[in-house]
A and B are shown apart, each in its own frame.
Chain A
């Protein structure tokens, strides 16, 4: 993970050299997020590659974007959602489908599946918090919502997770 250095990216890259640097700084964290979202590193790398190519193609349009890293997460997140929707349309469950096709699937602890029982906007904030180094402010950019809303979603989601995990009480009881 290279989040500490990734914060140094202050503006949307405009040259291939700058994109090369951006990819070096952010590829691992974006792929990690997409891998856990999609259950397959192969699919995750396809998504992240697609995002970088689009980021390059639209570089002039995004010149004014200053929150580059969270914005990339937003692009990856949206692209992951597209992939998950297309899988759903094909009537396949994301993990099973990938297990048959490639050897690069990721084993999820059952715990992760609890996230599927939360409202999607709460689950997404928790995923971003758990699977990346983004701050609440950056997550707000990634999900295109105000920071207080993001914090509320996180709080409600965590409370629901607690209840789902330990219906009789807290984890430590």
Chain B
């Protein structure tokens, strides 16, 4: 900024800030929350009218709705699914904007009623081959027609796989709004349908999936929680207009996800489906590409012990025998290197996760004590134990 040869530098120097000003901590998060709220705000014509007009219209609407509610007008759910699928048959693209109570950067499955809302956006181009992109702050997955690529900015890591790779988990059905309704119907979920004000509303109530004898995973994903999905479809076109998901806990339904801005037939730039990955990104590997551990790991607890011992002694090659990546990112090295293991508990299974959760307590080199569950699984063809998350 300073140009010593500039003849006006003497004046400019006196005007320059004595010290640079930086944004407050969490400013960025605050703005992204506001952007998300803006993106998710339902377009309501009511709020644009003066109060007296709104009141008048509300009364008129109620007068129209009362007979409808009284007669309990309902559409047949099965018929509705069929019409909705047909309505989307000619769609060229769909763009879904919403928000989920989750952690930025974490997997797309994770939810928590105490978490703040995080913006989520989905693009689906019904080209041949189809292309799509799903993203939230800190994590993005794009499928260019052949390969799905996931980039996690927090760990600067990238993973590639086939279109069906499990990168987007619960959000996958959102790529096909027509089939999401079909799958709900196929699952035989409890359904209530009503019609009012030009909108068909379908409430689908489902029980938590998986074995929750150990309740660690309960309510940590939508599929592992008792939940209600509320679908809004245009009465005329039968196109999906919105979706809200409520987790039922402690006797009430709490909103954890809503997608109320769904746009059809937008034109997307091809670049949207191709990620620009930093050259120094860590590559996450398939289990078959990993080097074997220097000792035989008998089970999840041994795998967890091996992982933490390797981090404790900063044996990065050994870390890579259980952590599926081509290198250990410098941030992981700095954060976990030299840790001390306080305890490692007995593994358990919970919910829909096919692996095990291993409780652990560690003291980091900076003195911080961390207590959590390491996710470990060996569901790959070679049954190699790999660390899947939880650190």
Contacts and interface: CB of A to CB of B under 8 A. Distances in A.
A129 B16 CA distance: 9
A28 B20 contact: yes
B11 A17 contact: no
Contacts of B12: 126, 129-130
Contacts of B35: 16, 19, 52-53, 56
A172 B32 contact: no
A39 to B, nearest CB: 12
A130 B16 CA distance: 5
A15 B135 contact: yes
Interface stretch (A65-73, A104-112, A138-146): A104-112
Contacts of A147: none
A78 interface: no
B15 A49 contact: no
A41 B21 contact: yes
B23 A36 contact: no
Nearest to A63: B269
Given A32-B20, A57-B38, A162-B11, A16 B28 contact: no
A18 to B, nearest CB: 9
Given A23-B28, A49-B31, A129-B12, A16 B23 contact: no
A83 interface: no
Given A32-B17, A35-B21, A53 B38 contact: yes
A27 B32 CA distance: 12
Nearest to A52: B31
A110 B203 CA distance: 64
A56 B11 CA distance: 37
A82 interface: no
Nearest to A49: B31
Contacts of B10: 171-172
B31 A53 contact: yes
B20 A27 contact: no
B63 interface: no
B1 interface: yes
A36 B17 contact: yes
Nearest to B14: A111
A41 B30 CA distance: 15
Contacts of B22: 28, 31-32
Interface residues of B, number: 33
Contacts of B292: none
A45 B21 CA distance: 11
A9 interface: no
Contact count band on A: 35 or more
Nearest to A106: B21
Contacts of A7: none
Contact of B135 (A17, A48, A111): A17
Contacts of B23: 27-28, 31, 45, 48
A154 B12 CA distance: 11
Interface in B97-129: 97, 119, 121
Contacts of B272: 15
B32 A16 contact: yes
A56 B20 CA distance: 26
Contact of A27 (B18, B27, B38, B135): B27
Interface string A1-27: 101000000000001110110011001
A53 B34 contact: yes
Contacts of A36: 17, 21
A49 B305 CA distance: 46
B229 interface: no
A161 interface: yes
Nearest to B275: A17
Contact of B28 (A20, A57, A112, A126): A20
Given A17-B140, A35-B21, A161 B11 contact: yes
Nearest to B30: A49
Contacts of A127: 15
Contacts of B20: 1, 28, 32
Contact of B39 (A16, A31, A45, A109): A16
Given A17-B135, A20-B28, A49-B27, 9 more contacts: A1-B20, A15-B121, A23-B28, A32-B20, A35-B21, A109-B14, A115-B15, A165-B11, A171-B11
29 contacts: A1-B1, A3-B1, A16-B32, A16-B39, A16-B119, A19-B32, A20-B32, A23-B28, A27-B31, A28-B22, A31-B21, A31-B22, A36-B17, A36-B21, A41-B21, A45-B23, A45-B27, A56-B39, A57-B38, A106-B21, A111-B14, A112-B15, A127-B15, A129-B12, A130-B15, A158-B11, A162-B11, A165-B14, A171-B11
Query: What are the 7 closest A-B residue pairs judged by CB atoms, nearest first?
Result: A130-B15, A32-B21, A27-B23, A16-B119, A17-B135, A56-B35, A28-B22
